[in-house]
Amino acid sequence: MPRIEAVDIAMRFGRITALDKVSLTVEDGEYVAILGPSGCGKTTLIKIIAGLWKPTEGRILVDGRDVTGVPVEDRDLGYVFQNIVLFPHMDVWRNATYGPWARNAPAPRLDAVGREVLELVGMLGERGLFPAELSGGSQQKVALARALANKAKLLILDEPLSALDTRVRLELRYALRRVVKDLGLTAVHVTHDQEEAMSVADRVVVMRKGGIVEAGRSEDLYERPANLFTANFVGENNFLEGSVRRVVGPWSFVELRNGYQLRVPSADSMVGDPVVVAARPEALSIIKEGVGNVLPGRVESRRFFGATQRIVVRLFTYDLVSVDLPSAQSLNIDRDVMVSFPEASILVYPRPYAGLQEALKLE
C-alpha cells in the first residue's frame, strides 16, 4: 500500500490562493477524510494528489518517489467522483470491468475481477442491468467497483456520497469503509459532511481558507477540538464569552454578562483573561433546582427529532444555547429553567483577538 505525502503544496489561480503551503501525509493502509466547508481548498488538494492538476509549488510523493509531474493515467490509483459517471450503453458488468478490458486483460482475468469487485459492493446480482435501471446509490456502487477493478492501492474519493439521498448515504458510508479495509487500500476521501468524515475515516483533516487547521481521530476532534473553528465545524457547540474572575486549583470561574459565573477547567487561564466557553448541546441538561454549575434562562423554542428534541434557551446572560433532551421530557415554551453545564464536558479557549464570529466563519 502506498504512503502519500503532499509537501508544501501551494495552488494559485491568478490572484486567488486556493492552497497555501499545505503538507499532509497519508500512511500505508490509512483511510483519511479531508473535511471542510465549500471553497476551503479540499477538492483542489485531492486533484493535485491524484495528478489531475499540477501545483504552483510543492511536491507529491508516493512511497518517497516524486510524482508531481506524473499524469493521472500513469498513477496507480482509483478515482470515484462526486458526479456519477457511468457509460449509459454498458451494463453493470462492462462498466465495472472497463479498466481491465481497456488494458486488454484476458477473459479469465476479466471474469475473476468482475466477480470480485461486484461482490464486494453488493452488485453482482445486478450485473446485467444498465445505469438507467439503477438507483443513484447503486450507480455509485458500480463506480466504486470500477475504481477497484484497476487493482490500484490508492483510492481517491471526491465527495462520493453528496449527490445521494440520506438513507443511501448512510448505507454507502459503511460499504466504503468495509471495502477499503477489506482490501487494505490507502484512501483519501473529500467531504463537507462532518458525520460522513467521522464515520468512515481513521483520521480526519479539517481545512479552512486554503490550509489545514487540525487533524486527528474523529473522537479527538469531536471531544477535544484544539481550536474554535474545529469545535464549531465538527458537530455543534454552544459558545459563551466571558472573563476569568478567579482560579482555584484546576478550576477557573468565568464571569459572563449580568454577573453570572460558570466553573470551568482552568486550561492555564489567568485572572482577567478573556475566554470562550464551549459546551455541546448533548452535554447540557435542564434541571428543576438551581444547584451546581447552572445558568438560568427561558425556553424560546422546541424542535422534535424523534427520540430527541432540541430545546433553545435564552439564558439570562442574553446568550442562546441549544440543549438536546429525550423527547419524553416535557418543556413548555416561555418556561423559566435552569441549564446545567457539567464541568467535565466544558472546553475553554482564549477569546480570539479578531472576535468569536471571525474565528467561526466558514469562509
Q: Are 96 and 114 in contact (CB under 8 A)?
A: yes
- Scan for cell 418556561, then name that residue: 335
3-state DSSP helix/strand/coil % of the chain, to nearest 5: 30, 35, 35
Distance CA(323)–CA(316), nearest Å, equals 15
Which pLDDT score is estimated for 166?
82
Provide the edge-to-edge strand list for the sheet that holds 238-248: 261-265, 251-255, 238-248, 274-279, 347-350
Which pLDDT score is estimated for 267?
77
Which pLDDT score is estimated for 279?
97
* Residue-by-residue pLDDT tens, the chain, 363 positions: 689 999 999 999 999 999 999 999 999 999 999 999 999 999 999 999 999 999 999 999 999 999 998 888 788 888 888 777 789 999 999 999 988 888 888 888 889 989 988 988 888 999 999 999 998 888 888 988 888 888 888 989 998 888 778 888 888 888 888 888 988 889 999 999 999 999 999 999 999 999 999 999 999 999 999 999 999 999 999 999 999 999 998 999 999 999 999 999 987 889 999 999 999 999 999 987 777 899 999 999 999 999 999 999 999 999 999 999 999 888 889 999 999 999 999 999 999 988 888 888 877
Number of residues that this document lists for the chain: 363
Q: What string of DSSP letters covers 37-85? A: -TTSSHHHHHHHHHTSS--SEEEEEETTEE-TT--GGGS-EEEE-SS--
Which pLDDT score is estimated for 1?
64
Q: Report which secondary-structure segment, H or E, holds 304.
A: strand 294-305
Which pLDDT score is estimated for 2?
86
Which pLDDT score is estimated for 144?
86
Q: Looking at the DSSP assignment, which residues form a beta bridge with residue 19?
A: 11
Domains and CATH numbers, the chain: 4-232 (3.40.50.300), 237-360 (2.40.50.100)
Which pLDDT score is estimated for 109?
87
Q: What is the pTM of this model?
A: 0.88
The three grid cell numbers given for residue 34, joined into one nine-digit string = 479531508
The three grid cell numbers given for residue 120, joined into one nine-digit string = 464486494
Distance CA(358)–CA(353), nearest Å, equals 9
Distance CA(143)–CA(118), nearest Å, equals 10
Which pLDDT score is estimated for 289?
75
